[in-house]
Every structure is written in structure tokens, then in C-alpha cells.
Amino acid sequence: MSSQTQQAGGAAPTTASAPAPRRRRRGGRARWTGWLFVAPALLVYAVFVLRPMVVSVQYSLYDWDGVGASTYVGLKNYSRLFTDSVLSHSILNAFKLIVFFSAVPVLLGLLIATSIRAIAASRLAVVARTVLFLPQVIPLVAAGIVWSWLLSSTGFVNQVLGWVGLGGVTRAWLGDFTFALPAVGVIGAWVLLGLCTLLLLAGMTKIDPSLYEAARLDGAGAVREFVSITLPALRQEIGVCVTVTVIAALASFDIIYISTQGGPGNSSMVPGLEIFYLAFTERQVGQASALGVALMLLVLACVLPVQWLTKERDE
């Protein structure tokens, strides 16, 4: 859904958008010709996405090392997601990352976008639009490398802490059992903050300014203005931000692979990386597939309610 069609996009777009005038019935054959246009796309999609999805479910019911014979084990691989501490811990970590990847960028983004709403048309804001998109343009791998260096024991983060007299708390953040996961979360927040801010700002500039003037005349303060006017009008944009960032958190791989490899111990292990290790180093193909299926379902379970809550209601 482009922003011009004014509706929430993402996981559950409405097919009832932009009602087209009822067409004249074409002849019987012409009405089916459309399928020829869909066929090539559907073929590639079926072979490289739908088939692996189905096979994922199939693999997940077996014990298989990728080479020899496989044994049918039913749902054991799924029950292990709850009982095996490493597996359940990785899923828990994914939820912890949502706080950093989603809550921080969306809340901070709201705060910043509200503050710069007044100067959204200024030259500074135009420059900012480019600068704030930089983290979205570079590969996540690069973000991981840069931040690994910034967060290292002699890195810039500790340098700044030393300047402000917090030299006592400096440490190798990514090598610390307590702080590795939050440190990874900070990297994700950095990547997503600019995108969220700009999306929310774009939504705010569409709000009718006379609403704000009326609120001012009624003596509403900044907070009241935000809660009564800005938030309700931004429901759709907030939904988009939450959707994008939650998927980024649950499916995180690149940043963690580069910065911590899931360590120290398993303290920053996430499902995406665990699937990679299970499938390609520990040769537990069935278990890797089960975690993959669980991850797909987890993303849907988190994204669909958000879509439903923030969809434009048809007035």
C-alpha cells in the first residue's frame, strides 16, 4: 500500500482497497488470461519459498543429521523448544530484544518527531532526512563491525564514560554476561531509530495544523496536545514502526553473528543464530527446522495483532 492510498500495509492488507468500477464481463477465456501473468511469479515463489516452508515442517518431525538415515520423532523437537534451556533461552532473548529494537526506537522516535514537528520544513530537517537514513542503507554487518569497535574495552563508548567521570563502569560490553544482550539491543536501536523517527514525522506532517491551533486556543499543554491529537492520528504509522521493528528483533541475525556470535556463553543467543548453528555446525537438521517453524509462527503471532489494532478503520 503506498502512502498515497492511505491505508495500513504489511501483513494484512485489505484487498478491498480503492474499489474499482465494476468492469464489463470479458469473454470467458480472457477472464482467465490473468493467471498466465501470475504463473511465473508464483512458480519461483512456490519453488523457493512455499516448498521450503512445507519441507521445514516435514523436517521438524524427524531426527536427521543431514547425511544418514532419519528417524521420525513426532513433536519431540517442538517440546524441546520449551525444555531445552539453550533453545528456550534464545526465544526469551528475542523477546528481550523487542524492548530495544521496538520500544526504544518507537518511543524515542515519537518524542523526537514531536519535538521537530515545528521545523519539519526547515533546511536542517531536509538534511536530516538523508543523514538519519544512513543506518538503513548500510549492511547490518557493517553496523555490527562498527559498533563492536565502539563498544570494545578501549572503544569510544568507554572513552565517553571516562570523560563524564563514569570510568568505573567501563567494560568490554559485548563480552559481558550481563550486558552483551543489551549492548546488541543498543546496536539495533541505533539502526532503527532514524527510520522510525522519519516515518512518524511523515505521519505528523499530514495532520491538519488547525487541530493544533484549536487545541492551543483551548489552553491545552504540549502533553495534552500529544495525547489527544498526535497519537490518535499516528495510529497507522506507529503500527508500521512496531511491525517493522518487531520483525527485525525476532529475525535478528547479522548484527549478533558479527558482534557476539551469541556469546559469552549463550547470553546473547537468538533463534536466528541458533537455527544457523543447529543446522550447519551441530547437524541437528530436525531441531533447526522446528525452531525455524516456531520462529515463523512467532513473527505472525506478534505482527497480526499489531496490524489488526492499527488498521485504518473504514469509516
Partner 1 sequence: MIVQRREALVGRVLLVLLMVITVLPFVSLVVTALHEPGTYPEGISWPDSPHWGNFADAFEAAHMGTLLLSSLLIVAGVVPASLLLGTMAGYAFGHLRMPGHRAVFLLFVLGLTLPFEGILTPLYYQVRDMGLLNTRWAIILPLIGLFMPFSVLWMRAHFVNVPQELSEAASVDGANLWQQFWRIQVPLAVPALSSLGLLLFLWTWNQFLLAIVLVDDPTKRTMAGALGAFQGQYGTDIPLLCAGSVLILAPTLAVFLLFQRQFVTALLQGSVKG
Which residues from 69-98 bind partner 1, rule CB under 8 A?
none
Under rule CB under 8 A, which residues in 212-231 are in contact with partner 1? Answer: none
Which helix (H) or strand (E) covers residue 62, if one does? strand 62-63
Residue 98 CA: distances (Å) to CA of 69, 70, 252, 282:
39, 36, 10, 27
Interaction of residue 118 with partner 1, rule CB under 8 A:
yes
On whether the CB atoms of residues 294 and 271 are closer than 8 A, the answer is yes
| Site membership for partner 1, residue 204 (CB under 8 A) | no
**Which is nearest to 239 in space by CA: 110, 111, 135, 143?**
110
Q: Which three cell numbers stand for residue 267?
A: 547470553
**Candidate ranges 68-76, 78-86, 189-197, 223-231; the one touching partner 1 (CB under 8 A):** 189-197
Q: Which residue of 77, 102, 197, 260 would you call a contact of partner 1, by CB under 8 A?
A: 197
Verify binding: residue 1, partner 1, rule CB under 8 A.
yes
Query: For the chain, how far is it from start to end, CA to CA, in angstroms?
Result: 18
Report, in Å, the least distance between residue 259 CB and partner 1: 10
Q: Which stretch binds partner 1 (CB under 8 A): 74-82, 96-104, 174-182, 254-262?
A: 254-262
The site that binds partner 1 (CB under 8 A) totals a number of residues, namely: 114
Paired strand residues for 63: 71
Judged by CB, which is closer to partner 1: 38, or 309? Answer: 38
The x, y and z cell numbers of residue 50, run together, are 512455499
Helix 140-150 and helix 156-163, axial crossing angle in degrees, nearest 10: 40
From candidates 72, 156, 177, 308, binder to partner 1 by CB under 8 A: 156
String marking each residue 120-139 x if it binds partner 1 according to CB under 8 A: --x-xx-xxxxxxxxxxxxx
> Looking at 104, 110, 242, 279, which residue binds partner 1 (CB under 8 A)?
279
Least Å distance between CB 211 and partner 1? 16
Query: Which positions from 24 through 43 interact with partner 1, judged by CB under 8 A?
Result: 24, 30-35, 37-38, 40-42
Q: Are residues 315 and 295 in contact, defined by beta-carbon separation less than 8 angstroms?
A: no
CB of 277 to partner 1, least distance (A): 11
Find cell 519441507 and name the residue.
55
If binding is defined by CB under 8 A, does position 305 make contact with partner 1?
A: no
The single residue among 87, 91, 104, 143 that binds partner 1, judged by CB under 8 A, is 143
Are residues 252 and 188 in contact, defined by beta-carbon separation less than 8 angstroms?
A: yes
Closest to 239 measured CA to CA, from 113, 111, 106: 106
- Does position 179 interact with partner 1 (CB under 8 A)? The reply is no
CA nearest neighbour of 260 among 139, 93, 87: 93
Q: Which is nearer to partner 1, 3 or 228 (CB)?
A: 3
Nearest distance, CB of residue 192 and partner 1, angstroms: 10
Is residue 240 a contact point for partner 1 (CB under 8 A)? Answer: yes
Angle at 108 between CA 104 and CA 109, to 5 degrees: 110
Per-position x/- string for 98-117, each x denoting binding to partner 1 as judged by CB under 8 A, each - no binding: --------------x--xxx
Which of 305, 238, 289, 302 lies closest to 95 in space, CA to CA? 302
CA distance 18 to 24: 18
3-state secondary structure of 80: helix
Q: Binding segment for partner 1 among 68-76, 81-89, 223-231, 242-250 (CB under 8 A)?
A: 242-250
